[in-house]
Structure 1
Amino acid sequence: SEYWPQADLVEADECVKAAVDGGDAELIGCWANWLAGIAKGIRDTSSRVWAMEARMKEEARQSREGKAA
């Protein structure tokens, strides 16, 4: 993953698996919330990047049209 070092991903995977295998509903819920928070952060960052990209493209288009006139 581009966001997390491989060692951290392996550790998180092992912890989630242990919680699931152990049937620890509270710990599974904690991991689910943690993962949901990470997913939200990635979505929010992506949305900001896409919005910035759209704004830059629109400004470039307007600049080209202004120079052509």
Structure 2
Amino acid sequence: MDTIPPPEVFYTTSTRVACDGNEAGGPNGHPLVYLQMGPSGFADCGYCDRRFILTGGPADLR
């Protein structure tokens, strides 16, 4: 079974990130949510499907 890749991937050095679905701070987006990464080293936003990957963590396959 193939999975659809996330629309955007952000690399971060923090295991706790915030997402509002907005790139430029305009009126588009979604409510601000905070995401906590677990042992997997990544977190996906439930609103916009952005993926946040911990730099140097187990999900960082760059």
Scaled by the length of structure 1, the TM-score of the pair is 0.19
Specify which structure has the higher proportion of strand: 2
Report which structure shows greater RCO (CA 8 Å, sep ≥6): 2
User: Quick check: which has more Rg, 1 or 2?
Assistant: 1
Specify which structure has the higher proportion of helix: 1
